[in-house]
Amino acid sequence: MLVLLVFIIVFHITSATLLFIATIDNAWWVGEELFADVWRVCVNNTNCTEIDTTFQDYSTMQAVQATMILSTTLCCVAFLIFVVQLFRLKQGERFVLTSIIQLMSCLCVMIAASIYTDRRQDLHEKNQEWYRRASDGRFGYSFILAWVAFAFTFTSGLMYLILRKRK
């Protein structure tokens, strides 16, 4: 049982780490001389522009930002609740609250990555100054990490739902 507990804790911490990296790092969309994420766009590796109200589809990017932050926060809260429930739950009870919060984190990261996937083309077409560079780009590793974090948080949420507290 101790090995299973250590595996679950390491798996959850890995999920949170992936969410932090995907949210913070500047590699959701990469091109030859372009890096873009949910916070800023960098052209020529030095000229970085923050995504603010002057950005044409700011509300879409704000939704991606908010759901990624919420996902990361929920994943951390789920871990803290798991630790509390580990010592407070009676033997034989399930970690349902932890599972619900982890599955909400899963849902948030899925929403963020889906919005970014759907709106990426629209965002680049509306912002013509760097669109020609972005058209040759591809999704970066932070974007891929967001989808991997989705799978990890989903699996973790299901594990908590199935897991019973044993001796």
DSSP collapsed to 3 states, the chain: CHHHHHHHHHHHHHHHHHHHHHHHCCCCEECCCEEECCCEEEECCCEEEECCCCCCCHHHHHHHHHHHHHHHHHHHHHHHHHHHHHHHCCCCCECHHHHHHHHHHHHHHHHHHHHHHHHHHHHHHHCHHHHHHHCCCEECHHHHHHHHHHHHHHHHHHHHHHCECCC
Q: Encode pLDDT of 71-119 as tens digits.
A: 999 999 999 999 999 888 887 788 889 999 999 999 999 999 999 888 7
- Total structural domains in the chain? 1
Residue 56 belongs to some domain of the structure: yes
Determine if the pTM surpasses 0.95: no
Q: Encode pLDDT of 35-61 as tens digits.
A: 877 888 777 767 777 777 777 677 888
Residue 86 belongs to some domain of the structure: yes
Q: Encode pLDDT of 147-158 as tens digits.
A: 999 999 999 999
Residue 98 belongs to some domain of the structure: yes
**Which domain covers residue 84, as residue numbers?**
2-162
Residue 70 belongs to some domain of the structure: yes
**pLDDT above 70 (res 125):** no
Residue 48 belongs to some domain of the structure: yes
CATH of the domain at 157: 1.20.140.150
Residue 167 belongs to some domain of the structure: no
